[in-house]
Amino acid sequence: MKVGILKEFMGNEKYVENACIELGIDYVTIDFLSENWLEEVKESNCDAFMYRPSNLLSHWRDLFVERIYVLEKVMNLLVYPKFNEIHFYENKRLLAYYLQAYSIPHPKTYVIYDKNEGKELAKSFDYPVVNKTNIGSGGSGVVKIKGQYSYKRYLRKVFPFMKIGFGGLTRYNTLKHKYNIPVSVPILSDRQKGYVITQECVDIVYEWRMIKIGDSYFGHQKLEKNGSHSGSGLVGWVDVPRDLLEFVKDIAIKMDHNCMAYDIFETKDGKYLVNEMQTAFGGYNPSQMYINEEPYRYLFKDGEWILEKGLFNQNSSYNLRLLDLKRILSEESITNNF
């Protein structure tokens, strides 16, 4: 197996390269950001292509979505993650449509493109509500709106004056100073204008980060800090309820996912609601699930959940992703021989 590793803006392809070296997999790194990217792909003679999409700026994300579409849907090449897994990556508008279309339980979400419609809806919301920017991880771009007046003020920020381009929401990215001090930096080149994403505020007990890579499943709790679970950096290492594992497995089957992280609310009345999904996710701990301080994963095989001890998330889980890609190539080879 020869893998083409697609370069990205933040240099995270290094995790894929390191995983290939550790597993003894042949690879070549392709400058996916270059104008000449397509020629590099054609000349690479690779069996499949693996990547971690860039996500800081919307046009970075769009580059990956557009070019992955060409590789998979136009050229019939094998890419990992698949197009249907990256399509809604860091795109909360589109994710809301997917969840509704697939009838996946999730907090009620409104995507509003008309300012007057937003004003009318503002009268009927059960406050507080949560407004989100379309792109933004780790809780960035999330604002809790406590009343109608605040909501209408938010609308004025988002919808440009006289529709001539002024206004918009500014996201902030947290960077580490050389003395390891977090500094919040505005992303002025990527303001959100012309639409609002509003989500009902759900009373939850826990937020879970669930991960599926091939037949492997991991889970942990995202603990609350300053009123927020996302981006808190605090983790609850506990065993995962079986009904939550089944909930995630059923979603993955319905939506055809090989590799996905699911952020799931557990409500006080015992329901599970999908808050977000992302095929690329931060996870630099060599295990994404611990039980009694020991690393584990769940495997679903032959209709059974099997708990297996060990470290499975090295190199930000790209070792496991590559093994899953190898499985897919092997299955395709068997199918093609018939």
Return the domain boundaries, the chain: 2-86, 108-200, 204-335
Fold of 108-200: Dna Ligase; domain 1 (3.30.1490)
Can you tell me the distance from the alpha carbon of 309 to that of 153, in angstroms, rounded to the nearest whole number?
Answer: 52
**Looking at domain 204-335, which of 3.40.50.920, 3.30.470.20, 3.60.110.10, 1.25.40.10 is its CATH number?**
3.30.470.20
- The strand order across the sheet containing 79-80 reads 26-30, 2-6, 48-51, 79-80
User: What DSSP character marks residue 146?
Assistant: -
The pLDDT tens digits for 207-250 are: 999 999 999 999 999 997 655 545 556 899 999 999 999 999 99
User: Would you call 256 helix, strand, or coil by DSSP?
Assistant: coil
| CATH code, residues 2-86 | 3.40.50
Instruction: Tell me what pLDDT residue 215 has.
Output: 97
Evaluate if residue 138 carries a pLDDT over 90. no
Helix, strand, coil abundance in the chain, percent, nearest 5: 35, 30, 35
Can you tell me the distance from the alpha carbon of 65 to that of 54, in angstroms, rounded to the nearest whole number?
Answer: 10
Q: Which long-range contacts (CB under 8 A, 24 or more apart) does 97-102 make?
A: 98/255, 99/274, 102/251, 102/254, 102/255
The pLDDT tens digits for 278-305 are: 999 877 899 999 999 999 999 999 999 9
